[in-house]
């Protein structure tokens, strides 16, 4: 899993990915008209992360940049994305790009939950000519009040968690979003199809917010359960699609969240689907941990890296975003058809070729080193007149890091030179290292491009815990 010492905070993580995005895609800061940040890692109750990022724009003289921070647990990055897409398709859009940043440092008190933490940030560029299309007219959200996971203690980075309720809320939100998505998709996507209802069969891949990997497998099984219940005449014969599930037809979804028999049956039933549609999306989650807001988009980068230019055009990818409290949305992406050399899709796929190499290039440390780093963060959280003591030697080239917090809590940062250490990120990654999403509405107008798919690997060391 990824973690940070006292040398990195949410501002430094976001500074790193935004500058990398701009540099690698050879974009001018003058061409950015909106900057949105989604995070739940709060180090100031008034000053936003976005305003800290504006120091990157100073040399360009561009201060006409809309947008601000969005906060709701792990959902903030998705809402920041939706805000940017709405701006690009509005009358306020002036033709410039929007940048969306999702970043967090997920830490837990000593105990069973601590290994489910993580850290990372992903920057996304919203603009024209993107290879991934955000499908229009099918997005479905479900918002509800619950105290499943929250952070009421402003003096601590650690959350208060009701574990059982959190799982129930997540699965309940997934049910509601999938049911709503399927109803909208029947109208918006199946007009010319011979299929009369939407099901998992029409997703080529499904990415989920990933608190931990086992929940993701259960979530895909949950969608298979929904398909089964919604099927008016499921084939439960020995050779049928739902063989062996005839005893589950009359289930009520709200009564099955912790039913082990149902869970086991549908995890078995959906195992092949999981292996092909979702397991590949867990590469980063498995090795970096739960990054909170960037989690879903790390899954997107992971699953795209498993395709080739020969088999990715036209694919549909389901995206389920969840943040405790709670807020959730299911939406989908469609890959464009043009994979010719030099095309945005070609650049995207080339940029993902070294994803595993980037992960492997991190430093692996003993659990005791991780525990010491967590103790250091706990002891120095919100100190003033403080100089961080964590090493900068293991930070990747181009990483921003904290150098000092003065007596008025003003934070100072610097950037590690891009050529300070050998790194596959700076020596082999293509210049145009881009992932893209495009709003499927007005052609050549509403698009989204996540930045380098593994920006978070540039700011985290790795623990074996």
Q: DSSP 3-state assignment of 154?
A: coil
Question: What tens digit of pLDDT does each residue of 226-245 get?
Answer: 999 999 899 999 889 999 89
Position 457 pLDDT exceeds 60? no
- Look at residue 164 in the predicted model and tell me its pLDDT: 95
- Residues noted as catalytic: 40, 74, 209
Tokens of 461: 């060391």
More confident residue, 436 or 256: 256
From 151, 82, 391, select the one nearest 292 (Cα to Cα). 151
Q: Cite the DSSP H helix spans in 198-251.
A: 213-230
From 127, 117, 197, select the one nearest 157 (Cα to Cα). 117
- Look at residue 206 in the predicted model and tell me its pLDDT: 98
Tokens of 291: 């990054």
Could you tell me if 342 and 305 are in contact, meaning their C-beta atoms sit under 8 angstroms apart? no
Question: What tens digit of pLDDT does each residue of 155-205 get?
Answer: 899 999 999 999 999 999 999 999 999 999 988 877 656 567 899 999 999
Average pLDDT score over residue span 43-64: 97
Could you tell me if 267 and 221 are in contact, meaning their C-beta atoms sit under 8 angstroms apart? yes
Position 432 pLDDT exceeds 70? no
Dihedrals phi, psi of 119, to nearest 5 degrees: -160, 145
- Look at residue 288 in the predicted model and tell me its pLDDT: 95
- Look at residue 210 in the predicted model and tell me its pLDDT: 96
What residues contact residue 359 under an 8 Å CB cut-off, 6+ apart? 283, 284, 287, 288, 454, 457
- Look at residue 422 in the predicted model and tell me its pLDDT: 37
Q: Cite the DSSP H helix spans in 270-366.
A: 271-273, 283-288, 295-304, 344-351, 355-360
β-strands 149-150, 140-143 pairing? unpaired
Question: What tens digit of pLDDT does each residue of 85-131 get?
Answer: 999 999 999 999 999 999 999 999 999 889 899 999 999 888 888 88
Indicate the pTM of the whole model: 0.88
Average pLDDT score over residue span 396-413: 96
- Cα–Cα distance list, 96 to 87, 121, 328 (Å): 10, 23, 29
- Cα separation, 275 vs 373, in Å, equals 35
Position 441 pLDDT exceeds 70? no
Helices then strands, counting H and E runs in the chain, come out as 13, 18
Helix, strand, coil % in the chain, rounded to nearest 5: 35, 20, 45
Supply the mean pLDDT for the chain: 88
Average pLDDT score over residue span 424-453: 35
- Look at residue 419 in the predicted model and tell me its pLDDT: 66
For 360-369, 392-401, 417-426, which range has the lowest pLDDT when averaged over its residues? 417-426
- Cα separation, 359 vs 36, in Å, equals 27
- Look at residue 191 in the predicted model and tell me its pLDDT: 67
- Is 297 buried (19+), middle (13-18) or exposed (0-12) by CB count in 10 A? buried
Position 430 pLDDT exceeds 50? no
- Look at residue 98 in the predicted model and tell me its pLDDT: 95
- Cα–Cα distance list, 142 to 77, 86, 104, 248, 326 (Å): 16, 19, 23, 26, 8
Could you tell me if 206 and 189 are in contact, meaning their C-beta atoms sit under 8 angstroms apart? no
- Cα–Cα distance list, 272 to 98, 103, 167, 244 (Å): 38, 32, 24, 16
Position 296 pLDDT exceeds 80? yes
Position 380 pLDDT exceeds 70? yes
């Amino acid at each position: 899993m990824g973690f940070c010492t006292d040398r990195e905070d949410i501002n430094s993580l976001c500074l790193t990915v935004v500058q990398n995005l701009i540099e690698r895609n050879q974009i001018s800061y003058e061409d950015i008209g909106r900057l949105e940040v989604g995070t739940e890692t709060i180090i100031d109750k008034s000053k936003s992360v976005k305003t800290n990022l504006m120091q990157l724009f100073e040399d360009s003289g561009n201060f006409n940049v809309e947008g601000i921070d969005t906060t709701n647990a792990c959902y903030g990055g998705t809402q920041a994305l939706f805000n940017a897409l709405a701006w690009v398709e509005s009358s306020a859009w002036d033709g410039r790009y929007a940048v969306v940043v999702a970043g967090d440092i997920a830490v837990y008190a000593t105990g069973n939950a601590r290994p489910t933490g993580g850290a990372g940030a992903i920057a996304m560029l919203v603009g024209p000519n993107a290879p991934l299309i955000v499908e229009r007219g099918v997005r479905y959200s479900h918002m509800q009040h619950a105290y499943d996971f929250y952070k009421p203690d402003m003096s601590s980075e650690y959350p208060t968690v009701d574990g059982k309720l959190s799982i129930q809320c997540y699965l309940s939100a997934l049910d509601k979003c999938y049911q709503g998505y399927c109803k909208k998709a029947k109208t918006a996507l199946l007009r010319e199809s011979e299929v009369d209802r939407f099901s998992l069969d029409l997703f080529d891949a499904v990415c989920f917010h990933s608190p931990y990997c086992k929940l993701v497998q259960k979530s895909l099984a949950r969608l298979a359960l929904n398909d089964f219940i919604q099927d008016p005449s499921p084939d439960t014969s020995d050779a049928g699609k739902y063989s062996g599930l005839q005893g589950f037809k009359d289930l009520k979804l709200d009564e099955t969240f912790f039913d082990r028999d149902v869970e086991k049956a549908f995890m078995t039933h959906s195992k092949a689907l999981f292996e092909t549609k979702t397991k590949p999306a867990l590469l980063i989650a498995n090795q970096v941990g739960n990054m909170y807001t960037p989690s879903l988009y790390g899954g997107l980068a992971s699953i795209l890296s498993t395709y080739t230019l020969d088999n990715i055009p036209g694919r549909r990818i389901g995206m389920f975003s969840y943040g405790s409290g709670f807020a959730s949305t299911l939406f989908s992406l469609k890959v464009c058809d043009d994979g010719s050399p030099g095309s945005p899709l070609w650049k995207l796929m080339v940029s993902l070729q070294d994803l595993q190499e980037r992960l492997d290039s991190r430093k692996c440390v003993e659990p005791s080193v991780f525990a010491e780093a967590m103790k250091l963060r706990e002891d120095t959280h919100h100190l003033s007149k403080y100089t961080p003591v964590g090493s900068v030697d293991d930070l990747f080239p181009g990483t921003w890091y904290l150098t000092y917090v003065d007596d008025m809590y003003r934070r100072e940062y610097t950037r590690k030179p891009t050529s300070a250490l050998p790194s596959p990120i700076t020596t082999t990654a293509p210049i145009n290292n881009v992932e893209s999403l495009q709003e499927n509405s007005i052609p050549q107008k509403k698009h989204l491009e996540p930045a380098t798919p593994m920006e978070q690997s540039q700011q985290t060391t790795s623990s074996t815990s």
